[in-house]
């Protein structure tokens, strides 16, 4: 039995190891056993996205938690950041999210938030994992009289919506603003429309009819074609695309052009700087961010730090360096003055605030940053050996870097959640960038695919 936790909890194809009922049951038991030492009979919030496999995993977690003497509170469908918020506001011992984020419906995942609303550390996950793999959990269960019981919470959407609305400045208004939402048939399909409607926006919603197998299917933050078309048709001021679990946002301007996470980060950081609220004058992004972001930060007079890829590493660096804003090109952004984790709707609130405060359309705000030509190719791989130990891959990377000189860069890394290698190249032109990216991707595919 291999290790279970990746960069974002446990993840895999649903109903197959490790994303099966047995592992979910054991995870529920292990979490309670470890939390008992500090919390006695721990209360644990459980929420999920709209995948059909969520029911199985929810029931298994509930069984594992109650068998070990914990009290699971079932939140049903709620965005990942909503579960973190409820866990914190309820002063629970932990929050457990059942979701595979932007992955297709066949996949699912389980990730854990502490009662403070932050994801567990690598060390905490390792402790849970060691207990699960020790094959001793069955010897640790309490007698029947000390088992737990489950509760279902009915009012979580309303609580979360109030929290979300309070992240939008009270002195600003989006009353009557035309906004198109793409909820990816995922966890935001109820709360996102209700939130923007309650703020007075004129909303139009697409991809908000989940059926268990259509989450992220040609929609949401990774597939904005329908949203771009709808924004232009409706004459909307902005389009907002969330991913399946609601922690990412990609925007579309009034002309139907996609706005990247890097551009959103810059717009929001500049607003904070103008308000004197950009703590330590610092924005945290990742090594995958476009070179144009670093150039723009320098132009507008604030510092830029590149972390490793992954929202947990962005957050770690934000806390370590004292920054309140950070995120990824993919649209996963953290605003620490509002929330402990990435939240697509909170991000949307900050972007809308920047539009209202400046009085500028999104297409004009997006021009604050020049985007350098960038090509990303995802290559399915059978194994993930250290890239530095694969001679043929290192040889082609070195060749491309020599030829690009100072006019671009190369980044080759594995996905933390899928059997995939991401090849990214930035260069002086689209044609050069695409040519070099394909050269590297071909070698990766031949050697590791």
307, 326 Cβ separation under 8 angstroms? yes
Q: What would the DSSP string read from start to end of 304-349?
A: EEEE-SSHHHHHHHHHHHT-SEEE-TTSBEEETTT-SS--HHHHHH
Give the span between the Cα atoms of 423 and 431, in whole angstroms: 16
Query: Has 101 been annotated as catalytic?
Result: yes
Residue 25 — φ and ψ, nearest 5°?
A: -60, -50
CB proximity list for 128: less than 8 A, separation 6 or greater:
5, 27, 30, 31, 34, 112, 120
Vertex 364 angle, CA 358 and 369, to 5°: 105
CB proximity list for 223: less than 8 A, separation 6 or greater:
216
Whether residue 238 is preceded by a cis peptide bond, meaning omega within 30 degrees of 0, is no
Question: Among residues 53, 60, 101, 289, which one is catalytic?
Answer: 101
Nearest CA to 400 among 362, 359, 358, 438? 438
Nearest CA to 275 among 172, 363, 366? 172
CB proximity list for 37: less than 8 A, separation 6 or greater:
none
Among left, alpha and beta (phi > 0; psi -120 to 50; other), residue 246 is left
Q: Give start and end residues of each alpha helix (H) in 174-235.
A: 191-198, 225-234
Give the span between the Cα atoms of 162 and 157, in whole angstroms: 9
Q: Give start and end residues of each alpha helix (H) in 258-412.
A: 261-274, 291-300, 311-321, 344-358, 362-365, 391-404
5, 125 Cβ separation under 8 angstroms? yes
Give the span between the Cα atoms of 122 and 310, in whole angstroms: 13
Q: Between the CA atoms of 151, 343, 351 and 306, what dihedral angle is there, to the nearest 10 degrees?
A: 170
Vertex 269 angle, CA 237 and 364, to 5°: 35
Catalytic residues: 101
């Amino acid at each position: 039995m291999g290790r279970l936790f990746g960069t974002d909890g446990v993840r895999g194809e649903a109903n197959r190891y490790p994303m099966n009922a047995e592992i979910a049951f054991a995870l529920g038991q292990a979490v309670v056993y470890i939390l008992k030492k500090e919390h006695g009979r721990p209360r644990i919030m459980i929420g999920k996205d709209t995948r059909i496999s969520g029911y199985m995993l929810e029931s298994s977690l509930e069984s594992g938690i109650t068998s070990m003497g914990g009290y699971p509170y079932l939140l049903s469908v709620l965005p990942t950041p909503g579960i973190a918020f409820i866990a914190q506001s309820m002063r629970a011992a932990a929050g457990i999210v059942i979701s595979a984020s932007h992955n297709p419906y066949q996949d699912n995942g389980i990730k854990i938030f502490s009662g403070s609303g932050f994801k567990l550390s690598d060390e905490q996950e390792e402790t849970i994992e060691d207990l699960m793999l020790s094959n001793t959990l069955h010897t640790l269960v309490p007698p029947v009289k000390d088992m737990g019981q489950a509760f279902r919470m009915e009012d979580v959407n309303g609580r979360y919506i109030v929290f979300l609305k309070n992240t939008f400045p009270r002195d600003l208004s989006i009353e009557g603003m035309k906004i198109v939402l793409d909820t990816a048939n995922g966890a935001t399909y109820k709360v996102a429309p209700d939130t923007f409607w309650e703020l007075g926006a004129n909303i139009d919603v697409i991809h908000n009819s989940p059926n268990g197998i259509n989450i992220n299917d040609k929609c949401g933050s990774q597939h904005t074609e329908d949203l771009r078309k709808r924004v232009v048709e409706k004459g909307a001021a902005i389009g907002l695309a969330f991913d399946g679990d609601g922690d990412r946002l990609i925007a579309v301007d009034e002309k139907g052009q996609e706005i990247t996470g890097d551009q959103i980060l810059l717009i929001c950081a500049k607003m904070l700087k103008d308000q004197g609220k950009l703590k330590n004058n610092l924005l945290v992004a990742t090594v995958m961010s476009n070179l144009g972001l670093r150039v723009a930060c320098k132009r507008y007079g604030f510092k830029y730090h590149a972390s490793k890829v992954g929202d947990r590493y962005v957050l770690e660096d934000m806390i370590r360096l004292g920054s309140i804003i950070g995120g990824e090109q993919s649209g996963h952004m953290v605003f620490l003055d509002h929330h402990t984790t990435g939240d697509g709707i909170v991000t949307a609130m900050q972007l809308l605030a920047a539009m209202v405060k400046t009085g500028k359309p999104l297409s004009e705000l997006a021009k604050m940053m020049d985007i350098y030509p960038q090509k990303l190719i995802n290559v399915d791989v059978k194994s993930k050996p250290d890239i530095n130990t694969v001679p043929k891959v290192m040889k082609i990377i070195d060749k491309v870097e020599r030829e690009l000189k100072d006019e671009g860069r190369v980044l080759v890394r594995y996905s933390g959640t899928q059997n995939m290698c991401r090849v990214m190249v930035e260069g002086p032109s689209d044609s050069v960038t695409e040519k070099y990216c394909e050269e590297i991707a071909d070698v990766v595919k031949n050697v590791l695919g």
